[in-house]
Amino acid sequence: MHISIALLLELGLILTALSALGALARRFALTPVPLYLLAGLALGEGGIAPVPAAGDFVEIGGAIGVVLLLLTLGLEFSVGELAASMRRHLPSAVVDLVLNATPGAVAGWLIGLNPVGILALAGATWVSSSGIVARLLDDLGRLGNRETPAVLSVLVLEDFAMAAYLPVLTVLAVGGAWWQAGVGMLIAVGAVVGAFAATQRWGSVIGRLLSHPEPEQLMLRVLGTTLVVAGLAELVGASAAVGAFLVGLTLTGQLAIRARAVLAPLRDLFAAAFFLAIGLGVEPGALPPVLPAALALAAVTAVTKLLTGAFAASRDGVARRGQLRAGAALIPRGEFSIVILGLAATTDPALSAVVTAYVFVLATTGPLIARLTGPPPTSPV
Amino acid sequence: MDVNEVLLPGVGLRYEFTSAEGRHLGIVARREGDFELVAYDRRDPDQSRLLFRLTAEEADMVAEILGAPRIAERFADLTKEVPGLSAGQIEVDPESRYAGRPLGETRARTRTGASIVAIVRGDDVIASPAPDEALHAGDVLVVIGTPGGIAGVDRIIHA
């Protein structure tokens, strides 16, 4: 086997640098996602330290990263949770979509993106980052708060809505017609319903097939199945990300908890590669011109998320202060906005720059705003 | 007592209730098996304050401590409500001819009218034991019936 010294050195240095950045982010109780994007920016062409040899790994790793991000997201949720969220918070989800996708679409139109770019930017401003928000609620000790179920319900419904949105974007991004996008969406929605039925009826059979007492076996089985399903989903135009999400949904209970544990380190590695890959794809010179637009968009969509959260919390009978906390908790945008960008990046170079700058702003300031809206996290008494 | 149960999608469940003291308390049960006990702020009832966290193992232990003495108490409460009904505890001696035999063989209920509602075996409690549940030496039977019926079961076990 030929060993590329340059690859080992570059990759090793990149991972070490990421670890330092991640530690820095944690130090300030921030998510590492924006720093990974910055690192990718610095490593790309025109950046301060180009990495030709590690580029291939980052590219391929990034594709697996999206699949793993969506798989672990699917593992988080169950059918019952979706049903309960739908019953209670469907109007909140509609408000969420209207208030937060509209500013993205309008901004996309104003800065002259093509229709696919406008659709992608609308998606990027619409979805909050489940990863950042869930972690934030835990860190701030707000899981017991009354407004928290409303926040989590909005996140669940957004994530499920992605199962319909991503296929449309995938098809349109590769130049498909609107009717093809519609077909892709129908396939994806049908597959979600099918996955639900499968979990209900054959959940235990699927569990037995994939489950194994040894972590290594479990990891290989779940990962292998997910990659196959993701590949097939991409083949029929329903987006690999949705396929991975479906596999995650189908696995429930104890199996899901164990799968999350064995996949977490892999997910962290490949997701880092994904964020790097996105950063690599952005030309640093393209950032300054779009910065004012990204900042304005961030300010507007921070306010619209605040309103969304307040509306959702008020449906649960939460008072003013709790409504404010709920709204602020939803402000961070992160990995999902980047996943959307990953699908549509090639269609419009300006899109990459805007979304990267936008996510960078809200992934860093969002958690800070959320922190300011409540008392400091209490240590146990 | 009212316990409110709320689903936390992706996290687990939350239970909340108001104690007799008027304190509003909540328990977050995570899917991974951990628990968080919180108290709600008096000024902002939507805001919780973490009291302490328990791992699954610790929670089991706490549940046992809180739950164990209450089993006997609850039977005592029950028997107070029905005149003529009382509860008794009968230990199965190693010499008892039913040690190692199924509970059903004692035909205690048919012969005395009293029911064996639980078997206390070390730290475990077998509630509503089935007739094929084997009795072990050292088991304590919780019996509910008339005082005469309970005495009858005692005679059967010790015969």
**Can you tell me which residue has the tokens 């969220």?**
A85
Best of A85, A88, A148, A330 to substitute, by most chain B Cβ atoms within 10 angstroms, is A148
Q: How many CA atoms within 13 Å lie on the side-chain side of A36?
A: 28
A31–chain B nearest CA distance, Å = 19
Distance CA A63, CA A65 (A): 5
The more confidently predicted of residues A115 and A49 is A115
* pLDDT, tens digit (0-9, with 9 covering 90-100), for A190-206: 877 787 777 777 767 77
Tell me what ipTM this predicted complex has: 0.77
- What integer best gives the mean pLDDT of chain A? 86
- The reply to whether residue A144 touches residue B48, judged by beta carbons under 8 angstroms, is yes
| Dihedral of alpha carbons A178, A181, A185, A187, sign | positive
Distance CA A58, CA A36 (A): 12
Which residues have a Cβ under 8 Å from the Cβ of A344 and sit 6 or more positions away?
A: A116, A117, A119, A120, A169, A173, A351
- The reply to whether residue B9 touches residue A134, judged by beta carbons under 8 angstroms, is no
% of chain A exceeding 70 in pLDDT: 96
- The reply to whether residue A378 touches residue B49, judged by beta carbons under 8 angstroms, is yes
Best of A145, A151, A245, A381 to substitute, by most chain B Cβ atoms within 10 angstroms, is A145
Best of B14, B46, B51 to substitute, by most chain A Cβ atoms within 10 angstroms, is B46
pLDDT at B127 over 60: yes
Burial of B76 (0-12, 13-18, 19+ CB in 10 A): exposed
Q: What token pair was written down for A23?
A: 């530690």
User: Average of pLDDT values for A78-90?
Assistant: 85
Distance CA A370, CA A133 (A): 9
Residue B123 pLDDT level (bands cut at 50, 70, 90): confident
Burial of A265 (0-12, 13-18, 19+ CB in 10 A): exposed
User: Number of A:B CB contacts under 8 A?
Assistant: 83
- The reply to whether residue A84 touches residue B9, judged by beta carbons under 8 angstroms, is yes
Q: How many CA atoms within 13 Å lie on the side-chain side of B99?
A: 16
- The reply to whether residue A146 touches residue B28, judged by beta carbons under 8 angstroms, is no
Strand positions, DSSP E, chain A: none
* Nearest in space to B117 (alpha carbons), one of B108, A359, A303, A27: B108
Distance CA B9, CA A270 (A): 26
Number of neighbours of residue A162 by Cβ within 10 angstroms: 25
Distance CA A302, CA A368 (A): 12
Contact between B82 and B144 under an 8 Å Cβ cutoff? The reply is no
- B48 CB neighbours in chain A (<8 A) are 141-146
User: Average of pLDDT values for B43-47?
Assistant: 86
* pLDDT, tens digit (0-9, with 9 covering 90-100), for A286-299: 888 889 999 999 99
pLDDT at B153 over 80: yes
Model confidence, pTM: 0.77
Which residues have a Cβ under 8 Å from the Cβ of A27 and sit 6 or more positions away?
A: none
Most confident segment among A161-165, A225-229, B93-97: A225-229
First to last CA, chain B: 44
For B29, the 3-state DSSP assignment is: strand
User: Average of pLDDT values for B52-78?
Assistant: 77
> Domain extents for chain B?
4-54, 69-158
- The reply to whether residue B46 touches residue A156, judged by beta carbons under 8 angstroms, is no
Task: Name the CATH architecture for the domain at B69-158.
Answer: 2-Layer Sandwich (3.30)
- The reply to whether residue B7 touches residue A84, judged by beta carbons under 8 angstroms, is yes
B56–chain A nearest CA distance, Å = 14
* pLDDT, tens digit (0-9, with 9 covering 90-100), for B5-26: 888 988 889 999 999 988 899 9
* pLDDT, tens digit (0-9, with 9 covering 90-100), for A336-366: 899 899 888 777 888 988 999 999 899 889 9
The CA dihedral of A31, A32, A38, A42, to the nearest 10 degrees, is: 170
Distance CA B139, CA B116 (A): 12
Query: What's the confidence (pLDDT) of residue A381?
Result: 44
C-alpha of B56 from chain center: 19
Q: Which of A84, A148, A321 sits opposite B44 (nearest CB)?
A: A321
Query: What's the confidence (pLDDT) of residue A77?
Result: 81
